Structure formats: C-alpha cells, structure tokens
Structure 1
C-alpha cells in the first residue's frame, strides 16, 4: 500500500517533470512560430532550423503510420513512468534527476507528436540530425543515469534487505 503514496521524492519528480515538459513545449511553440519561414538562424555553435520529424530517433521509422509510432512511444513512456514511480523512494538523488530528465523529454515529445503526428525539432548542428530540447533532456538524463548507476555500490531498486520492490 505504501508504494502508492505521494511521498516527497515522488512529488518532487512529478513537479520537475511537469516543469521540464512545459519548458520544452513552450520552446517548441516558439520555434514553430519564429522559424516558420524556413530559414536558418546561425548561433555560432548551433543553428536554429525548423524540422518536423514524423519518425522516431534520427527519423527512423518515418514510413510507419503515425498511430504506430505514437503507440510505441506511448508504451515506452508509460513504462518509464511506472518505473520511476516504483523506484522514486529508494533511488538516489542523481538517479531521480536522470529519470526525471528522461521522462520529461519522452513525455514532451509524445505530447508534441500526439498533436499532429510529428515532433518539432529546431536545433541543428550541420553534422547531426536536427533535434530539440526534449532530446537534450533524454540524452543528458540517460548519461546522468549511467554515471550514477556506474558509481553506485548497490543495484538500483535494491532495499536494505537486498530485495527489490
């Protein structure tokens, strides 16, 4: 029964995820409006260029129907949300931060895709596929998780008794 309670770590994660989703969707809305003319804005290291990605990561699967991609990404995002909910109380702060970042990015891209079947991308390097802030959240969150779990001495999700929840 205690696994269903709203505890401080779960509340903090939920608020963090909501904040990051709002930030990403706001920047996507701005990019869709400001970059609608089709041009590129150079910012030295990175350019702003509007692209709508109907596929998954790196445009893979762009020939699949939109509902298939939406269903697949929805299932993965829901599974991640369940994992985070179940491990929030026992995970270390770095793990919670990494999980919140990954869930935020996945959720923001899922919500963006649900609106019109494509994800709004606007960060362009010239040598890498165009991406967005949610993709940055996913990548940095995954890197934080790898580093946090690599440095941990106890397996993720382990309790004091050595059993998993």
Structure 2
C-alpha cells in the first residue's frame, strides 16, 4: 500500500505538470506575462539544471533516464520502512523528474515558463523536485536523534585511551 501511495503521488505530480506545460505551450509567448514576483515566459531548455549539458542533449537524456530509474528503485525500497514525510518527498522528486524526462523525450528540450529575472527560467517539475528535497531534509531533521546514529556508534563501548584497561 505504501509503495502504491508513492507511485500514485508521483503520477499525480506528473499529471499536473503535464497539464501546466500544455497550458504554457498553448497560452504563453516569449514576451511573458507578469504575475507578481514572477513572469510567465515560455522558453525551452535542451540541457539539465541551469542549461548544463545543453550541447549534449542525448547525454542529458540518458543521464536523466538513469536517474529517474534510480529514484524509482530507491522509492520502491524505501517505501516499506520510511515515514510518510519522506515518501511525500520521494513522490514529489520522482514525479518532477519523470515530468521533465517525458517532456524531453518528444523534442529533446524541457519547457520552462517561470521567470524571475534573477534566476534561470524554470518549470513546475523543477519546483516539485526542490520541494521534495526540502521534505526529505525536514523528515531527516524530525527523525529522533538516536535513530540517526551509525550502528558502530550505538554498539561500540566508550573507551578511555588513558586507562590501563582501555575502558
């Protein structure tokens, strides 16, 4: 059930991202439209984050495909024993990554539409990936301190190197 929730959550993020991308491609132009702190402006990015790898779109596609598969496998494994906040974070990351991957599959570019003027133009899947990472960090911060210790730290006895017995 927890695994199904993870993948249903990712599918929901993917569906919403597809809908927003469809709207952006239909209704936005390169000139943009101001909406408060952001401007809605249609652009296309052949690279990954910050246009990295734009000159090698096939390599970007391969790497993002492998990363999506790795995230999906890690999610499958983690869903069985991780708290709900971590599952929500993983679903958000997986859904955003899949949305960008499927957008790239058609023509080798990702559709971007949020422009701030001080940050590279980005899209909703980018936002969900960042939110997912923040949820994972929050889940880690909220985890009890004793469950974060390494097995060696919890099982090794404390020793005093200055004593004859070492204890």
Shorter-normalised TM range: 0.7 to 0.9
If the length of structure 2 is used for normalisation, what is the TM-score? 0.85
How does 1:94-109 map onto structure 2 within 5 Å? 94-109=85-100
**How far apart in 2 are the matches of 1:105 and 1:115?**
16
The alpha-carbon deviation at position 14 of structure 1 amounts to: 1.4
The structure with the larger Rg is 2
Q: Matches of 1:98 and 1:150 in 2, distance apart?
A: 14
Number of equivalences: 147
- In 2, distance between residues paired with 1:71 and 1:55? 12
SS of corresponding position for 2:40: strand
Q: TM-score, normalised by structure 1?
A: 0.86
How far the C-alpha of 1:88 sits from its partner, in A, is 0.2
2:77 is the alignment partner of 1:86: yes
Match of residue 43, structure 1, among 16, 20, 35: 35
> Please, what is the CA RMSD of the aligned residues?
1.3
Unaligned runs of 5+ in 1: 1-7, 159-165
Segments of 4+ in structure 1 off by > 3 A? none
Which residue, 130, 137, 151 being the options, matches 1:146?
137
Unaligned runs of 5+ in 2: 152-167
